[in-house]
Amino acid sequence: MKMTMRWFGEGYDTVTLQQIRQVPGVEGVITTIYDAAPGEEWEEDAILSMKQKVEDAGLSLCGIESVNIHDAIKVGSRDRDFYIDNYIRTLEKLGKNDIHLVCYNFMPVFDWTRSDLAKVRPDGSTVFAYDQKIIDQIDPANMSEAMGEKNNGFLLPGWEPERMAHIQELFRMYEGIDEDRLFANLQFFLEAIMPVCDKYDINMAIHPDDPAWSVFGLARIMTSGENLVRLTKLVDNPHNGVTLCTGSLGSDPKNDIVDAIHALKGRIHFAHVRNIKYNGEGSFEEAAHLSSDGSLDMFEIMKALYETGFDGPIRPDHGRAIWGEISMPGYGLYDRALGITYLNGIWESLEKMIGRKK
Ligand code: DNO
């Protein structure tokens, strides 16, 4: 595996590349062109300068998170071909510039959803939390403002204000889009982009839905190990793979992450490894990475990745806000660095105990 950290780019991230470079064991970053709107074709110059900045700091650009998918592709409207062509051209430029991993999601309207961005834990740290009872009381039209209240003034990933301004329209677009339609539209998209992925050896890694169930009555499909496997079979090309996000898939306690890792062997192109703590039906909060702080067994998760030969980029995903750090919620330096050190420790133990070379 290659240990990485997500970096949102200059002007968007409080964490610098120089700081990331000093976290032991980190080889590279996962980044994006943060101000590119979903559906827009990326400029090659912007890709080049992003890559250059990362490499000048002594790091590798290990992948893109995300090249976001336009809603027209998700709902399968008549104009989807235009957006698919843009996507293909973006992939082409990434491939030509030696970038071989793209993370994306296929969630209707909202990307990841939380009811609280700064829940205070007993030790004074703050974390993301989700409680279905609270979400049920929120009018989705106001969701963006609800998320905006505690965002420390940052633009949250996946919550583009331009899209959120048209929320009613977005909801109308998804009327009648059930799980089967979403699967069919996702298959159509993947089949269209596989040739360019084959040509440039680009691994597509779909992110599970977060939380892993339907929110605001919108269909969600990347909600279980079975559905992720179903997608890999639907478009049976090794470049069609997944991001194994333990916190997203694990939001539903019915999902056995270790089983999912084994079932997806060879198709996990990227891993987000973090812990969450269940607080009852439909309710969880993010925890420190340490197994004993949450409900997931991080050792067993890392062991399953190790045993299945996972060799892609991995990142600690979110961290708690600790030690007074003010950053984009979930993406401070301190707790993610602690998480990395812990995950690296588990990996070193696995290597030494099981004895397989990296
Ligand atoms: C949140 C992230 C998501 C993720 C996208 C992938 O912190 O995990 O926004 O990047 O769903 O497209």
Structure tokens at 307: 């045993």
Give the distance (Å) from ligand 1 centre to CA of residue 113: 10
pLDDT at 153: 86
Give the distance (Å) from ligand 1 centre to CA of residue 221: 15
Ligand 1 atom 3, closest CA: 112
In three-state secondary structure terms, 312 is coil
Judge residue 113's burial from the number of C-beta atoms within 10 Å of its C-beta, 0-12 exposed, 13-18 middle, 19 or more buried: buried
Q: How far apart are the first and last CA of the chain?
A: 7
pLDDT at 356: 58
Give the distance (Å) from ligand 1 centre to CA of residue 111: 7
Question: Taking the CB of residue 16, how many other CB atoms lie within 10 A of it?
Answer: 13
Residue 236 backbone phi and psi in degrees, to 5: -85, 65
User: pLDDT by residue for the chain (358 residues), tens digit each?
Assistant: 999 999 999 999 999 999 999 999 999 999 999 999 999 999 999 999 999 999 999 999 999 999 999 999 999 999 999 999 999 999 999 999 999 999 999 999 999 999 999 999 999 999 999 999 999 999 988 888 877 777 888 888 888 888 888 899 999 999 999 999 999 999 999 999 999 999 999 999 999 999 999 999 999 999 999 999 999 999 999 999 999 999 999 999 999 999 999 999 999 999 999 999 999 999 999 999 999 999 999 999 999 999 999 999 999 999 999 999 999 999 999 999 999 999 999 999 999 999 755 4
Q: Is 105 in the pocket of ligand 1 (CB under 6 A)?
A: yes
**Maximum Cα–Cα distance for the chain, whole Å?**
55
pTM of the model: 0.97
Strands 126-131 and 283-286: antiparallel
Q: Is 65 in the pocket of ligand 1 (CB under 6 A)?
A: yes
Q: Is 34 in the pocket of ligand 1 (CB under 6 A)?
A: no
- In DSSP notation, 93-156 reads HHHHTT--EEEE---SS-SS--SEEEEEPTTS-EEEEEEHHHHTTS-GGGHHHHHHTTSTTPPP
Counting from 1 in the atom list of ligand 1, the atom nearest the Cα of 210 is: 11
Counting from 1 in the atom list of ligand 1, the atom nearest the Cα of 105 is: 12
CA angle 190, 192, 196 (to 5 degrees): 95
Q: Is 111 in the pocket of ligand 1 (CB under 6 A)?
A: yes
Give the distance (Å) from ligand 1 centre to CA of residue 157: 7
Counting from 1 in the atom list of ligand 1, the atom nearest the Cα of 66 is: 12
